[in-house]
Each structure stands twice: as structure tokens, then as C-alpha cells.
Amino acid sequence: HQPHQSCHLILELQAASPQRQPQRRCRFCEKKPQLRRPKTGHAVCRDCFFWAFEAETHDTIVSSRMFSPGERVAIGASGGKDSTVLAYLLKTLNERHNYGLDLRLLAIDEGIAGYRDDSLDALRRTEVSLGLPLTIFTYRDLYGWTMDEVVRAAGRRSNCTFCGVFRRQALDRGAGHLKADKLATGHNADDVAETVVMNLLRGDAARLSRCADGVTHTGGGLPARCKPLKYAYEKEIVLYAYFKRLDYFATECLYAPAAYRGHARALVKDLERARPAALLHIIQAAEQIRFRTDARMPELDTCRLCGYVSSQPVCKACVLLDGLNSGNPRLAVGKSSACSAKQQQQRMLTDAGRNSAQCCGSAGARRGCSGSACAAAADS
Ligand code: SF4
Ligand code: ZN
């Protein structure tokens, strides 16, 4: 078949396997080495690789005081390699080190036929094999739109803008529904390094100051987000899943555009090829940047339409939905001037006020619309 991303990584890793430069024994024990760790270059046996990878994840969790005993942790899971390894590791480490966590799987179904439905099948098998309860939220229920419909309405250029904003909010709503204290995501070292580079190139100081943190608090009653795999190399996650024979879905999203994070990703991969430690160094450099604490950060409030945390009167998801529902999806993602963005928000608030005696739509009711009819519907 057409090799997918994981196959490419396995082929690349086999090409760099210990047989090419024979090592007689594993770096840590007497056994024959079976792989060379992409992160450190050490030739190791399979068991010592598992041990090192798990110990490093445990260290990330403990050193950043990620969790407290008794907490409920929602694991943002998609059926892909990162979140499947994350769920397996959290369950293993929770039992091994008595974290005392109540672990749940939380999935978001964006409504992408031929991609997410297949990956959710893999996730359902993980639910059974790990024995962790799974809850699935859908864009269709939360927003009234599937991503397939969004792409049909808005085209292929800005699909990830819609999807990213919707997913972030959907995960928070899902974690809130599960009454989770923390939301753990499968972001790996490659993802974090890419985000650091992107924020640096954009000059986005606010995001740069927190994107490399293991734990981020959004405030507004939302659960803190945690990245237990933030120092785990993507290549090692693939190796771990491969040797542990974990069941995951390995195809890329049908709508993943070539330019998605493309430049930052290419730069980070080039740097890793030249010097594998570069990934870690980018993350560690970002962790050490100190920002003026008196710098003005946007104040958090709640969206007047849906109640979600927002620094604007209307949250980004509501603005995007307004564009979709009014047949102007491109307007909502376009680089509109601050002035016209304000005008759009003002119009939405006025419309909402005019309609507040009626229901704002079924999707609104489910998202906690504050319109009186929706409130009544929610109570009944
Ligand atoms: Fe959504 Fe874009 Fe990711 Fe596909 S690639 S799941 S459209 S964010
Ligand atoms: Zn909103």
C-alpha cells in the first residue's frame, strides 16, 4: 500500500538500525541491541527502550507536578499514534507509580468520512483493551456542522482554522462534561518544537510564553491542559507503538493541507536531521524565556453567545459559526481589520438580543446559549 507516515518513519529507522554500525551489547544491559534511539543515538534492546521511554515520561509528569492524587484526567484521544501511546502510558504509569488518577478517554468526532470514523474504530478497540471508558463528542452535535460540510461550504483553504478552533472548544466542553480536573493531550516534542518556532516567527509573545509548558492553565474554570509526551520524539512514539503492537490508525486527515504548519515542520525536521538534540534544545530554550510579568495580557471573559471563555465579547467559534450559518464562511476567517471584526461581533450581539426570546438554534442550545428559549429548552 501507499506507505503512510509511520511506515516512512519505520523504514528510516531501520536504515539507521544498529546492524549498520554493530554494537555488541545494549547500552544498559547485556542483551543484543535492537534499535538505535532517535533521541539519544544509544543502541538499546527493546526492554531497555521501553524502560527508558516510560521512565522519561514519568519524569516529565513528576517534575512538572502535572497531576495530583484523586484527580480525574480526560485523555484527548483520536485513535492516532500519539494519543494511543499516551493512553497506554498513563494507564501503565498510573498503576506502576500509584498516581491515583481516574483516567477517561475523550474523543472528538469532527465528521470526516473515511478518516475520523476509521480512527474512532481503532479508539473503540483501545477502549476495550485498556479498559478506560470512552466518551465521544461530535461537531455535528456541538456546532450543527460536520467538517465535511464545512469544507463543502468554505473550501479547502481554511478548513484547519475552523477545525482547530472547534476542536479546542469541543475538548474543553467534553472535559467539563466529564467533570475532569485535567485534560491530557498527545502533543509530542516535534509538535511542541514546531509550535515554538511558529510563535517565534510570528512574534506571538503571549503564545510563545506558554506553548512549551507541560501544564497550561487557561482560567475561566476550564481544566488545565497537560502534555505528558512533550519531550517524547515522534520517531520514538512510533517505535514504542510498533514494538508494543498498539492498535492505532495511521492515516493523515484527508484535509491536511501541504502548508499546514509546513514551514516550521520542515525547519524542525531539518534541524533534527543535522542534530537530533535540536528538538529538545528548542523546547528547553522556550521554557527559559522570561516574559515581563507586567506586560498586558488579554483579559478573560465569557462569550456572550455561548458562554465559553473568550477575551472578546464573542468567541472565535461563534464568529466562525456565524460565517458558516450566514453563508459567508470566508469572511469569518479572513484577515478582516480590527474595525470590521468589531462590527461583525456587534451585529452578532444585536442579532442575538433580537432573537433571545426565541431559540437561537438547536446547536446553540446544546452549547449553552443564553437565549431565554434555549435556557428553557435546556431546563426541560
Ligand atoms: Fe482538522 Fe485540519 Fe487536523 Fe484535518 S488536518 S483534523 S481539518 S485540523
Ligand atoms: Zn461563543
Q: Establish whether 78 is an annotated binding residue.
A: yes
Instruction: Among 115, 147, 255, 261, say which to mutate for ligand 1: greatest number of ligand atoms within 8 Å of CB.
Output: 255
Nearest CA to ligand 1 atom 5: 256
φ/ψ of residue 27, rounded to 5: -55, -30
Q: Establish whether 76 is an annotated binding residue.
A: yes
Q: Is residue 353 classed exposed, middle or buried when 0-12, 13-18 and 19+ CB atoms within 10 A define those classes?
A: exposed
Please tell me if the CB atom of residue 255 comes closer than 6 angstroms to any atom of ligand 1: yes
3-state secondary structure 111-163: CCCCCHHHHHHHHHHHHHHHCCCEEEEEHHHHHCCCHHHHHHHHCCCCHHHHH
Residue in this structure with the C-alpha cell 516529565, named with its chain if needed = 60
Predicted pLDDT at 85: 98
Query: Which strand (E) or helix (H) includes residue 31?
Result: none
Nearest CA to ligand 1 atom 7: 160
What type of residue is 327? G
Measure the CA–CA gap between 122 and 36, rounded to whole angstroms. Answer: 29
Predicted pLDDT at 187: 97
Rounded to two decimals, the pTM is 0.85
Predicted pLDDT at 20: 54
Distance 340 CA to ligand 1 centre (A): 27
Please tell me if the CB atom of residue 194 comes closer than 6 angstroms to any atom of ligand 1: no
Q: Which residues contact 293 (CB under 8 A, 6 or more apart)?
A: none
Nearest atom in ligand 1 to the alpha carbon of residue 151 is 7
Predicted pLDDT at 297: 67
Please tell me if the CB atom of residue 148 comes closer than 6 angstroms to any atom of ligand 1: no
Distance 316 CA to ligand 1 centre (A): 17
Beta bridge partners of 310: 301
Q: Establish whether 337 is an annotated binding residue.
A: no
* In the chain, alpha helices (H): 5-15, 46-63, 81-96, 116-130, 139-143, 147-154, 159-177, 189-202, 205-208, 234-243, 262-274, 278-288, 316-325, 329-333, 338-355, 362-366, 372-379
Instruction: Among 78, 82, 120, 159, say which to mutate for ligand 1: greatest number of ligand atoms within 8 Å of CB.
Output: 159
Predicted pLDDT at 358: 46
Distance 307 CA to ligand 2 centre (A): 6
CA angle 185, 291, 293 (to 5 degrees): 105
Q: Where are the domains of the chain?
A: 35-288, 301-351
Predicted pLDDT at 170: 97
Predicted pLDDT at 231: 97
Report the top-level CATH class of 35-288: alpha beta
Distance 80 CA to ligand 2 centre (A): 29
Q: Which residues contact 209 (CB under 8 A, 6 or more apart)?
A: 289, 291
Distance 13 CA to ligand 2 centre (A): 45
What type of residue is 13? L
DSSP 19: G
Please tell me if the CB atom of residue 163 comes closer than 6 angstroms to any atom of ligand 1: yes
Predicted pLDDT at 234: 96
Q: pLDDT in tens for each of the 380 residues of the chain?
A: 444 555 555 555 555 555 555 678 999 999 999 999 999 999 999 999 999 999 999 999 999 999 999 999 999 999 999 999 999 999 999 999 999 999 999 999 999 999 999 999 999 999 999 999 999 999 999 999 999 999 999 888 888 889 999 999 999 999 999 999 999 999 999 999 999 999 998 888 888 988 999 999 888 889 999 999 999 999 999 999 999 999 999 888 888 876 557 788 889 999 999 999 999 999 999 999 877 766 666 778 899 999 999 988 999 999 999 999 988 887 777 655 555 677 777 777 887 777 654 444 444 444 544 333 333 333 32
Q: Establish whether 282 is an annotated binding residue.
A: no
Residue in this structure with the C-alpha cell 490508525, named with its chain if needed = 249
